[in-house]
Amino acid sequence: MTTPQAAQQRPHPPALFYALIASLPFSDFLQTTVVAFSAAPVMGGIAASPEEYSTVATLYAVVAIGVIALHRQLLARLGWRHLLQGSAALYALGALVCGLSASVAGFAAGRMLMALGCGSFMTAGRVLVNHIPPSPRRFTGIKLFAAGLAWGGVAGPWLASAALAAQAWRMAFFALLLPAAVIGALAGAVVPNDRPESDTPAQPVSRSLLVLTGGAFLLLHALQRSSFDFFNGAWLLCGTAALAVAGLSAFVWLSRAKAGAAISFRPLAQRRYLLGLGMFALGYVLLGANSSMLPVLLQRALGLPLEVVGRVIGIGALGGVASWIVLSRLLPRHPGPTRYYLVGFGLLLCCASQLSGLSESANLWQSVVPALLCNGAFVIVVLATTAMQTFQTLQRDETTFSHANQVKNILGQFGVAAGIALATLCMQWRSSLHYARLGESLSAANPALAQTLTTLTQRFAAEGQVAEAPAMAVVHLGQWLNQAATLMGALDYFFVVKIIAGGCLAAIALEAAWHRCKLA
């Protein structure tokens, strides 16, 4: 086996090694956004209900969490090259199974295979950056790692949109074979099969991992089911979540007490790292919530076709690419995080302010796209700044650095799921309230209702559907009512995001002022 220090000194062909570092997060974000934007056609293609599809998402996340937790142990057994090539093969096999599946079970199997493959892509990519000796070249690796994230967020919606426009959602999954092949080829070309050495031998899969996966399943299942059962079974969901938190706490306790555990938590108990995890949690929750609400706003509230929604959100993600280009030039000279957090949450405030004031007649390019660009920039600025600050004191030891990234990436799975659940609940609550109020305003005594129905009936009758015209008028009015309620619920959601962004800005400004006063 080769020590981490020796591995770091091993020369790599720079261009190919950088390409591998960028391709790992790119491939992970690419498949995530493809699955998110292809949800409706996939459910139709495999005859899945929303509840079944959410269960598939839960299974994917649980498997991914298990793989992330075992990343260091797998690396010790397989070595870098074999781990990356095996992961790429599983990623490709899973994508192929998903593309060929015609049932829920087949698609679930494909997604779990993909989770086995790409679950540790983010951790592996970031740890590989630290195999570059401390120098400007290492920061180049960091820049390309973040660029892979940003471009994955752009390419995913565009790929899904192109597949939907061709009415062939399976092609989006088949296209994932290309990045898998690239990772496998690059790993074979530039990564030796070094295995990290450790003072304590890695333990076999044990009860602590079973506790982790069990707790993860319970928590993710509760978050996913909250979209369907919260208003009827909140106590059961809260009890399940509490049991899950107890299980996850037991995993941390068992890992602290055992040498050679999958993740060692003792070295991570540092103030800077824990504060960074808190900021990551907030960022991932907002990322998941906004990512789930933007398609709802654009498709269900504004009536845009799903393939157009994918292209528009892909354009908005270019804000993240542009912001990282600027940020990567500023960070080496001005590393202080306060200004970047103020800019990041200021961008979120601009996005939420713009979207919370939309109307049904809003111009897509003048009102929506600028807000999406701000949202894309917010994600990259806040998460990149947090990453630069969180791991500063943990980079000397590769094992500790890897464990820190594993914990962060596990947290990311929970944070995104929590954001989706909270956004969905907010949307259900507010849209139902607005629907009821709009329905009350359209009572039989309202002369505007009769006039609207008469106008719609005449329009449908003029199109040659005389007998069905009255019923079609009622259906059309109901669709308009639902669309209006959805729009108003989405506006309420983004108003809440605006308040959160304003609160974060105030807290950051107060913390900076307090810090200056303490130094004075």
Last residue of a domain, one of 258, 279, 297: 258
Mean pLDDT across the chain, nearest whole number?
A: 87
State the number of CA atoms in the 13 A half-sphere of 459 facing the CB.
11
pLDDT value at 462 more than 80: no
Same-domain check for residues 14 and 137:
yes
Please check whether residue 183 lies inside any domain of the structure.
Answer: yes
The predicted pLDDT at position 9 comes to 44
The predicted pLDDT at position 315 comes to 95
Same-domain check for residues 217 and 109:
no
Same-domain check for residues 113 and 35:
yes
* pTM (predicted TM-score): 0.90
Please check whether residue 354 lies inside any domain of the structure.
Answer: no
Mean pLDDT of 79-92: 95
pLDDT value at 296 more than 70: yes
pLDDT > 90: what percent of the chain? 58
Closest CA to 114 of 39, 24, 28, 19: 28
Please check whether residue 336 lies inside any domain of the structure.
Answer: no
Quick: pLDDT tens for 20-50.
999 999 999 999 999 988 888 999 999 988 8
The predicted pLDDT at position 4 comes to 40
The predicted pLDDT at position 335 comes to 87
Domain that holds residue 234: 206-258
Mean pLDDT of 508-516: 88
Task: Give dist(CA 264, CA 327) in Å, integer.
Answer: 32
Same-domain check for residues 185 and 59:
yes
DSSP for residue 268: G
pLDDT value at 452 more than 70: no
pLDDT value at 267 more than 90: no
On whether the CB atoms of residues 216 and 209 are closer than 8 A, the answer is no
Q: How many domains does the chain have?
A: 3
Same-domain check for residues 5 and 99:
yes
Could you tell me which residue, 478 or 290, shows the higher pLDDT?
290
Could you tell me which residue, 431 or 442, shows the higher pLDDT?
431
pLDDT value at 510 more than 60: yes
Cβ–Cβ contacts within 10 Å for residue 504, how many? 21
Tokens of 422: 């909270």
pLDDT > 70: what percent of the chain? 87
Mean pLDDT of 70-79: 90
Tokens of 179: 């990045």
pLDDT value at 205 more than 60: no
How would residue 86 be classed by pLDDT, with cut points 50, 70 and 90? very high
Last residue of a domain, one of 203, 230, 250: 203
Tokens of 46: 């495999």
Q: Where are the alpha helices (DSSP H) in 356-397?
A: 369-390
Closest CA to 377 of 418, 425, 421, 327: 327
Please check whether residue 296 lies inside any domain of the structure.
Answer: no
Task: Give dist(CA 122, CA 49) in Å, integer.
Answer: 31
Helix axes 369-390, 136-165, angle to 10 degrees: 150
The predicted pLDDT at position 167 comes to 84
How would residue 257 be classed by pLDDT, with cut points 50, 70 and 90? low
Backbone angles phi, psi at 192, to 5 degrees: -70, 165
Last residue of a domain, one of 241, 258, 275: 258
pLDDT value at 473 more than 80: no
